[in-house]
Amino acid sequence: MPSNREHSRSFIQQRYVLSTMGFMALALGYVQRFCLSLAITEMAEQRHHTVYQDANLGTVCPDERSFGNTTLFKKEMEFDWDEKTQGLVLSSFFWGYVITQMPGGMLADLYGGKATLGLGMLFSSIGTIITPYVARAYGPEELIILRLIIGLAQGPLYPAMSRLLATWVPIEERGRLGSLVFAGAQVGNVASMQLGGFLMRYTNSWTSVFYAFGIFGLLWLIFWFVLIYNHPNRHPFISSKEKQYLNRAINAVDPEEGKLSIPWKSIATSAPVWGLIIVQIGHDWGLFTIITDLPKYMKSVLRFSVVENGLLSGLPYIVMWLVAMGSGFIVDSMLSSKYFTVTCIRKTFVTIASVGPALGIIAASYSGCDKVLAVASFTIGMGLMGTFVPSLKVNALDLSPNFAGTLMAIVGTIGCLSGVIAPYIVGIMVPNSSMEEWRDVFWLSAAILIATNLLFLQYGSGNVQPWNEKPNHQYESSDINNENNTISILKPL
């Protein structure tokens, strides 16, 4: 008969606590990462000079505050940065982000994800708070350096979170719990756009977003370090029933006990790993292009105000979040039915997440100055990218639960090179911020999304790879069959 203490513990499943805190980690990480994308539209002028009375003859849409070729009101911006400089400021985060993915993943696999993720978010939050001071007291060069440092701090975020999920979440729950956690990125995008727009409008200052989101991050850290543990066996509040279930279902190595030797050669020569890397490149190019530059397109071409910009730029991420959550439950149901292999499910949902956005952004680029059609196209197309959460984002956990941190780091490091390159390329391609220039940007993104998806269909997999296993430490109860990748599901708590 369980003790009173044991009975009280059993009310809260600790894997759900981890998933909730992980959701908040990604939401805050993305808020701090991308709040600059909207803020920069109020910091520096977008370099177009003519607003035509006839939108069909012009390169930007008419402004409600303009008449003919005469602008009735023009807000004076604080910084005189051209489009190339703005592109460098926006892309500099990824210069640092790409550097610490690998070290972060290795540290998470060897020592656990709790401290690796927590310390990164600490430095990211502090860097966010001091962003206005650096921009005003120094200049774009120093701001670029600060954004690079924030990128360094956030590099371990996904690898560390993946390692924790691989240790805490059984395969039959990865669809819905993985969707909950990784959908935090979409919520962060929404918050950075919509909440950021309201903060700037009602405080009449772009600095407010950095102060608010940085402080939120510091408050979240207190709960993270108190509630989160690297392994079920080390958690003081977990019930014995949940601990036994997780140890049977996952049987992952405790990073604080069994040190694993990372099989670098096997990983480097694995076709499924390269399939995942390639599709991550395409996904990141499409996503980061929209996240960093959609607010600029909304303002410089469609001519939305800062509040409208924040609200409407955030719509695709609301739909993306809803799609991610819904598709997570669908994926788990498909797995439970045993009619579909993990590989089939992952490839199907990755394809939706690639083709849908490609069609959406192309449709938006041909909608002209029809603001409703443009926003609807962006929203539906990018919303379908939500299916990448229970597919692409959990695929590293499928391939190697014991090395999920390292694997996610490898995939993220190479993939996020898109984040380094894309904003800079966009800055070069749109010197005048005209509709025609932006259309070329969207065509390029669509081509990359579709081409990389085709390669994933050829080489991707949902199978646990042979190099995942530590000698004498095999999966016992999850009964994963590598030939057809079907699973024998344990009854969850």
Could you report the per-residue pLDDT of 409-428, keeping only the tens digit for each? 898 888 878 867 887 788 78
pLDDT at 118: 96
Q: With contact defined as beta carbons under 8 Å apart, do 146 and 33 qualify?
A: no
Give exposure, 205-242, as e/b (b: 16+ Cβ within 10 Å). ebbbbbbbbbebbeebbeebeeebbbbbeebeebbeeb
Distance CA 217, CA 26 (A): 11
Question: What dihedral angle (degrees, nearest 10) is formed by the CA atoms of 439, 445, 450, 452?
Answer: 160
pLDDT at 8: 47
Distance CA 378, CA 222 (A): 37
pLDDT at 447: 95
Q: With contact defined as beta carbons under 8 Å apart, do 287 and 23 qualify?
A: no
What CATH number was assigned to the domain covering residues 13-48+79-235?
Answer: 1.20.1250.20
Give exposure, 282-295, as e/b (b: 16+ Cβ within 10 Å). bbbbbbbbbbbbbb
Q: Which amino acid is residue 53, in one-letter code?
A: Q
What CATH number was assigned to the domain covering residues 264-464?
Answer: 1.20.1250.20
Q: Which residues of the chain have pLDDT under 50?
A: 1-8, 48-58, 65-73, 471-493
Question: Which residue in the block uniquely carries the two structure tokens 């903060």?
Answer: 199
Distances (CA, A) of 296 to 42, 48, 66: 10, 11, 19
Contacts of 256 (CB under 8 A, 6+ apart): 111, 112, 230, 231, 234
pLDDT at 59: 60
Q: Where are the domains of the chain?
A: 13-48+79-235, 264-464
In this chain, the answer to whether the domains covering 13-48+79-235 and 264-464 adopt an identical fold is yes
Q: How many CB atoms lie within 10 A of CB 136?
A: 13
Distance CA 193, CA 191 (A): 5
Nearest to 140, CA basis, from 87, 199, 194, 68: 87
Residue by residue, DSSP assigns 227-292 as H--SSGGG-TT--HHHHHHHHHHT-PPPTTT-PPPP-HHHHHT-HHHHHHHHHHHHHHHHHHHHHH
pLDDT at 318: 86
Q: With contact defined as beta carbons under 8 Å apart, do 299 and 40 qualify?
A: no
The predicted model scores a pTM of 0.73
pLDDT at 412: 83
